[in-house]
Amino acid sequence: MSSSTTHRTTIGAVVGAAWVGGLFAAGPLVGGFAPDAVAEWIIVRSPGWLSTLAISQLGFYAKPVLVTGVVAGVVAVSAAVALAWPRFSRGKRLVAVGLGIVATAALFSALGTGVSLGAVGGLLVAVAPPYVVAHLLTAPRVPSNRRRFLERVGTVAVGSAVSLAGLRLVLEWTAGPQESPRVEEPLERRVSPPDGDPAFDFEGMPPAITPPGSHYVVDITVSKPTIDPEEWALEVDGVVEEPYELSYDELLAHEGSLEQPTTMICISNQVGGDLIGTGHWTGVPLSELVAAAGPTESAVDVVTHAADGYSEAIPIELVEREDILVAYGMGDRTLATEHGFPARLLVPGRYGMKMTKWLTRIEVADRTHEAYWEARGWDEEAVVETMAYVRGAERDGDRVEVGGVAFAGLETGVEEISGVEVSVDGGEQWQAAEVEPQLAPHAWRRWRYAFEAPDETEFDVVVRALESDGTVQTEEESSPRPSGATGWHRMSVSV
């Protein structure tokens, strides 16, 4: 590689990085970091097997890793352009610069930035740094000596990083945070949430009701939609006699409101995994909201649309169930942003994918709708598989107690799990566990089993749930995709 090639590649990479820095500095003006929008765009368009693989391999880090990849991509493209630059005609150079500006504007619009003075300012803040950096690194009197050149690059890079960080701070301070952090408002309680039986609260056991802050979060977004409740309205339309809109205040004041503990589990949860929780939800039955619009004979599906482009569909017959809620409260507060503020769907007994967050529209459709994950190869019905997980173990003298949770989405309405059997010797002998009284028809049931073990400290615990007709949960192991993981959960515990 000749020195001028190295120089140009380096300059290109630094110019690309300066652009990313400019995008970052412009954040407070345009309401977000543009590479996040690119990452989201990729997530939405990537095939289901790829996102599943990424999430199963990288977990929480999947999205940060993707955003880092996007930034690396920008730097690489910029280096490549710099390499070809001398061969570009004047016209081509102008086009390249123009494309950079258009790309910046497109990214801002993908972030949801409207045309405003702030957006124009943001555009300047984003495109000025690469321009200035390119100038500083190519102007006459840039040393051609390798060491001097690198010193110059270093100075420019550090100088721009410091100035951009400073600029961002100033902008944050003057523009204020784009959205002041929303505080969940207290809700007036109609009933108090069940506490559960304290006998099931021991080492490692989850509380009967998961506090909102501990409930798992899964969605396709990198930055969660922030919705202004004053401007939000839930549209109910489609093949109905009378389409209408419901404001946030109208939803909260709806007389059909009820409270309901409901277990939610992500279809991508592995046997024994943590993507499961039981919220105490408040909401209005979907059946009432749909009935108020008067669906016509041609209604087939009820489609829920969301602010992040997500959608789900449920057959109109299912909507007659009174336990499907448009929820606006969790615990004793309104919904947190990450759980779908201002309103989300709750479909008890189905996997979490059915439970659209950040609802904007309920559409009664006259044909079947292909939902977000269905289009990516996951099961559309998504009825939760019968399951039991090991969670806790505690020793008290000679006595050992093990426990966990059991759940099923059988849709019988009540008492889906009739019992739990547990083995503490790897599946040789089975005993009946004690099961906590049902909190609600679609809430998990905690189980526990106590036994005497003065000498042993290691146990190979296996657990299986029994359905109401006595059917034993299947032992057959299947992967989460396409319709949820199955198999008995096994865990070695030491007490």
Ligand X SMILES: Nc1nc2c(c(=O)[nH]1)N[C@H]1C(S)=C(S)[C@@H](COP(=O)(O)O)O[C@H]1N2
Q: Which residues bind ligand X (CB under 6 A)?
A: 215-220, 264, 266, 306, 308, 310, 339-340, 352-353, 355-358
Minimum CB–partner distance for residue 279 and ligand X (Å): 8
Residue 7 contact, options Mo ion, ligand X, none, Cβ 5-8 Å cut-off depending on partner type: none
Residue 107 contact, options Mo ion, ligand X, none, Cβ 5-8 Å cut-off depending on partner type: none
Nearer to Mo ion, 266 or 364 (CB): 266
Residue 355 contact, options Mo ion, ligand X, none, Cβ 5-8 Å cut-off depending on partner type: ligand X
The gap between the terminal CA atoms of the chain, to the nearest Å, is 63
With beta carbons less than 8 A apart as the criterion, state whether 118 and 137 touch. Answer: no
Separation CA 200–CA 314 (nearest Å): 35
Nearest by Cα to 243 from 132, 404, 380, 361: 361
Minimum CB–partner distance for residue 258 and ligand X (Å): 19
Question: Which residue's Cβ has the minimum distance to ligand X?
Answer: 352
Coil, strand or helix at 22: helix
Separation CA 291–CA 221 (nearest Å): 31
Which residues partner with 446 through β-bridges?
405
Residues 6+ apart with CB under 8 A from 182: 226, 337, 341
Nearest by Cα to 162 from 18, 12, 38: 18
> 445: how many CB neighbours lie within 10 A of its CB?
27
* Residue numbers at the binding site for Mo ion (CB under 5 A): 218, 266, 352-353
Minimum CB–partner distance for residue 320 and ligand X (Å): 22
Minimum CB–partner distance for residue 350 and ligand X (Å): 10
Nearer to Mo ion, 340 or 352 (CB): 352
Q: What is the DSSP letter of 253?
A: T
Minimum CB–partner distance for residue 353 and Mo ion (Å): 5
Nearer to ligand X, 342 or 352 (CB): 352
Nearer to Mo ion, 11 or 276 (CB): 276
Minimum CB–partner distance for residue 301 and ligand X (Å): 17
Output the CA torsion 418→422→428→431 (10° steps): -70
Nearer to ligand X, 378 or 459 (CB): 378
Question: Which residue's Cβ has the minimum distance to Mo ion?
Answer: 266
Nearer to ligand X, 359 or 402 (CB): 359
Residue 329 contact, options Mo ion, ligand X, none, Cβ 5-8 Å cut-off depending on partner type: none
Separation CA 86–CA 405 (nearest Å): 66
Residue 481 contact, options ligand X, Mo ion, none, Cβ 5-8 Å cut-off depending on partner type: none
Instruction: Locate the DSSP E strands across 331-370.
Output: 333-334, 344-346, 359-365
Residue 150 contact, options Mo ion, ligand X, none, Cβ 5-8 Å cut-off depending on partner type: none
Separation CA 112–CA 97 (nearest Å): 23
Minimum CB–partner distance for residue 330 and ligand X (Å): 8
| Type of residue numbered 209 | I
